């Protein structure tokens, strides 16, 4: 096995390595961590890219090598007006919930434009929006992110697959499946109990809900040699140091196909479900928040459980939580995981000493 200098595990040198040397490094990582090397690939998104490797662990989980970095994360909105951050279309969406009577839709288009202009001139409303942005996005700073092996896709919590034999033997579940077939349904969900869903034209699968705690999840991960990303590591994985609210900029692109936005053209694949610049599939769904952990504190990144969307606040407010830097200042976390909204992503921190 070829020794690799620690510096080459970080972007400053990793980016400059020839493909041949990157392959050697990536093969060494596979040997050290007993991973199956699936293949090498270049991932590109939002004008950023990386050449890396995809691996598979003994328990069938796909991981991607993400080089470390010393990088600026978080945002600084000091002395920035809303007009300095957002374009006109996003500004209109941002202030629309503050327009008197907006819920009743009592205004014609011309009246709405006038009301939006008046609202933007209201110093108290603008100040409230600016305070929200200041207090719900992490502060800017420079951080050292270690080299990581990162689970390619996030995992759901609390739901445990039902073995095919057990599913076939359970009369109640089979009756539910038969009724779903007659009704033309592809899924049957009993809240926090059981979910039966169609796998293909002829086969059905199922999963049962089992309560779980954050403490147990953390211990299970540790027992299997994994951990959770810290909030700042997650920001790096989701944004790669972007200096904007979203990896693509400060504004929602209304040509995107976004989840939960019924007025958009929601046919086909959602825009944000693709692999990002590290090859990771980040939820980018306000309902899907990922569990992160640092200094004995559990928190969330990547969503607010859909609170803003459920509140009828529109696409801009609704999608703020998918920002790498969003941090819900009002979120309270108890002992138990919410299997409907909470997801997690395994990471392995690459031991730089083992690469010498």
What average pLDDT does this structure show over 201-217?
94
Residues 248 and 116 in one domain: no
pTM above 0.75, yes or no: yes
* Residue 225 forms part of a structural domain: no
Residues 236 and 349 in one domain: yes
**Model confidence pLDDT, tens digit, residues 35-86:** 999 999 999 999 999 999 999 999 999 999 999 999 999 999 988 889 999 9
* Predicted local distance difference test score (pLDDT) of residue 92: 87
Q: Which residues pair with 156 in a beta bridge?
A: 343
**pLDDT score of 322 more than 70:** yes
Residues 34 and 144 in one domain: yes
Residues 291 and 346 in one domain: yes
* Residue 221 forms part of a structural domain: no
* Residue 92 forms part of a structural domain: yes
**Model confidence pLDDT, tens digit, residues 135-153:** 999 999 999 999 999 999 9
What average pLDDT does this structure show over 212-240?
97
Residues 92 and 147 in one domain: no
What average pLDDT does this structure show over 87-97?
89
* Residue 219 forms part of a structural domain: no
Residues 251 and 191 in one domain: no
**pLDDT score of 263 more than 70:** no
Give me the number of domains the chain comprises.
3
Which domain does 189 fall in, by range? 159-209
Residues 297 and 178 in one domain: no
* Predicted local distance difference test score (pLDDT) of residue 116: 80
* Residue 341 forms part of a structural domain: yes
Residues 192 and 271 in one domain: no
Residues 272 and 343 in one domain: yes
* Residue 216 forms part of a structural domain: no
Of residues 270 and 356, more confidently modeled: 270
**pLDDT score of 353 more than 70:** no
pLDDT band at 95, cuts 50/70/90? confident
Q: What percent of the chain stands above pLDDT 70?
A: 92
**pLDDT score of 194 more than 80:** yes
* Residue 297 forms part of a structural domain: yes
Residues 97 and 24 in one domain: no
322: nearest Cα among 340, 308, 339, 312: 308
Residues 19 and 148 in one domain: yes
């Amino acid at each position: 096995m070829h020794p690799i200098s620690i510096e080459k595990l970080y972007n400053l040198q990793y980016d400059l390595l020839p493909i041949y040397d990157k392959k050697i490094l990536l093969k060494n990582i596979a040997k050290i961590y007993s991973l199956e090397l699936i293949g090498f690939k270049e991932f590109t998104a939002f004008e950023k890219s990386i050449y890396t490797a995809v691996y598979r662990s003994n328990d069938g989980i796909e991981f991607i090598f993400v080089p470390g970095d010393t990088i600026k994360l978080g945002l600084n909105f000091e002395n920035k007006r809303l007009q300095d951050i957002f374009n006109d279309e996003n500004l209109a969406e941002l202030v629309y919930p503050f327009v008197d009577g907006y819920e009743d839709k009592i205004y014609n288009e011309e009246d709405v434009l006038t009301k939006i202009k008046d609202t933007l001139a209201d110093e108290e409303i603008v100040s409230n929006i600016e305070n929200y942005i200041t207090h719900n996005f992490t502060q800017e700073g420079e951080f050292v992110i270690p080299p990581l092996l990162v689970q390619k896709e996030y995992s759901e919590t609390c739901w445990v697959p039902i073995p095919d034999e057990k599913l076939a033997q359970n009369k109640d579940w089979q009756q539910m499946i038969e009724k779903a077939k007659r009704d033309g349904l592809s899924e049957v969900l009993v809240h926090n109990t059981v979910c039966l869903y169609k796998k293909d034209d002829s086969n059905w699968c199922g999963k049962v809900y089992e309560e779980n705690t954050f403490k147990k999840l953390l211990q299970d991960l540790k027992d299997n040699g994994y951990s959770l990303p810290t909030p700042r590591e997650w920001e790096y994985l989701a944004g790669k140091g972007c200096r904007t609210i979203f990896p693509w900029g400060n504004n929602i692109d209304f040509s995107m196909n976004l989840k939960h936005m019924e007025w958009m053209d929601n046919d086909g694949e959602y825009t944000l479900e693709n692999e990002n610049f590290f090859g990771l599939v980040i939820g980018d769904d306000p309902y899907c928040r990922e569990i992160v952990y640092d200094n004995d504190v559990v928190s969330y990144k990547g969503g607010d459980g859909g609170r803003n969307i459920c509140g009828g606040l529109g696409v801009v407010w609704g999608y703020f939580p998918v920002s790498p830097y969003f941090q819900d200042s009002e979120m309270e976390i108890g002992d138990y995981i919410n299997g409907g909204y909470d997801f997690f992503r395994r990471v392995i921190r690459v031991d730089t000493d083992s690469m010498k």
